[in-house]
């Protein structure tokens, strides 16, 4: 494994001053609309595995977020994939994705809306079977709402993908239900529409996963989830994801 994968872990272990409540994009595919406090770093890391027919993908996922204040986060995603597609093995870095998240509004009861944009930098041709395609740019609208102790997370947006001189545009969606604070079980439905230039409802994907997150402290969270992909197709696949989130305040009061 490339030694540079350990750099973010070393960085976060060296920083000792930590505070603030932790809210993660993990687990699941849905992303949170919440942003970080000013001068806070957050590392969200895990191992994501997916399997469909003869294709298998195992990806070390890493997301770094940094809060600039006033509901604005900088985002960097850097993943390393161990992929086997039709008995061909390809171990390489996924395209680096950089972007931002901007909070639109926050209500007194904790409901939140935000927009997010990320774009990929083509560093390799590695393909993750579920989460992200090469050279992808994404724009999404995120909503988190609490109703009678049930937390609803809703994502919808568009993804443009450039692969082999072809540009495709499709949309994605996620709907997630969770409950609890220290221990938070969840269930989620997610998928994507086919490319708009060749639209067919038969190509619409529907996937289901469930799991739980456990908050060990205000700055550390662990999680695990598993699910089934292509529920509406002849051949189903499976996904498994587990990891952690660590939050760091880089500025002392």
User: For residue 183, is pLDDT > 70?
Assistant: yes
User: For residue 127, is pLDDT > 50?
Assistant: no
Claim: this prediction has a pTM higher than 0.75 = yes
Which one has a higher pLDDT value, 137 or 128? 137
DSSP string, the chain: --GGGGHHHHHHHH-----S----S-SSS------PPTTEEEEEEEEEEEEETTEEEEEEEEEEEEE-SSSEEEEEE--EEEEEETTEEEEEEPPEEEEEEEEEEE-TTS-EEEEEEEEEE-S-----SSS--TTEEEEEEEEEEEETTEEEEEEEEEEEEEETTEEEEEEEEEEEEEE-SSEEEEEEEEEEPPPGGG--GGG---EEEEEEEEEEETTEEEEEEEEEE-TTSSS-EEEEEEEEEEEEE-S--
Over the stretch 200-230, which tens digit does the pLDDT of each residue have? 666 678 899 999 999 999 899 999 999 998 8
Over the stretch 194-205, which tens digit does the pLDDT of each residue have? 666 665 666 678
User: For residue 130, is pLDDT > 50?
Assistant: no
Q: What is the mean pLDDT of the chain?
A: 80
Half-sphere exposure of 99 (CA within 13 A, CB side): 19
Domain limits of the chain? 33-247
Residue 196 has what pLDDT? 62
Identify the CATH assignment for 33-247 out of 3.30.1450.10, 3.30.300.90, 3.40.50.2000, 2.40.128.130.
2.40.128.130
Residue 21 has what pLDDT? 66
Kindly state the average pLDDT of the residues 231-244. Answer: 84
Residue 136 has what pLDDT? 76
Residue 101 has what pLDDT? 97
């Amino acid at each position: 494994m490339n030694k540079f994968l350990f750099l973010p872990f070393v960085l976060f272990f060296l920083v000792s001053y930590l505070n603030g409540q932790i809210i993660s994009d993990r687990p699941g595919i849905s992303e949170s609309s919440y942003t970080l406090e000013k001068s806070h770093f957050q590392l969200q890391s895990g191992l994501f595995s997916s399997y469909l027919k003869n294709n298998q993908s195992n990806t070390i996922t890493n997301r770094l977020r940094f809060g600039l204040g006033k509901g604005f986060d900088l985002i960097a995603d850097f993943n390393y994939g161990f992929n086997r597609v039709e008995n061909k093995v390809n171990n390489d870095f996924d395209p680096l994705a950089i972007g931002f998240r901007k909070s639109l509004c926050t209500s007194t009861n904790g409901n939140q809306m935000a927009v997010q944009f990320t774009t990929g930098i083509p560093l390799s041709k590695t393909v993750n079977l579920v989460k992200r395609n090469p050279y992808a740019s994404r724009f999404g609208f995120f909503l988190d709402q609490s109703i009678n102790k049930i937390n609803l997370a809703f994502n919808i947006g568009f993804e443009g993908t450039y692969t082999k001189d072809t540009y495709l545009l499709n949309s994605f969606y996620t709907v997630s239900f969770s409950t609890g604070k220290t221990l938070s079980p969840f269930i989620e439905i997610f998928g994507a529409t086919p490319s708009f230039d060749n639209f067919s409802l038969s190509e619409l994907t529907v996937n289901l996963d469930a799991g739980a997150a456990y908050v060990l402290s205000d700055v550390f969270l662990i999680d695990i989830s598993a699910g089934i992909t292509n529920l509406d197709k002849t051949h189903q696949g499976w996904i498994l994801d587990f990891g952690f989130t660590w939050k760091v305040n880089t500025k002392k009061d």
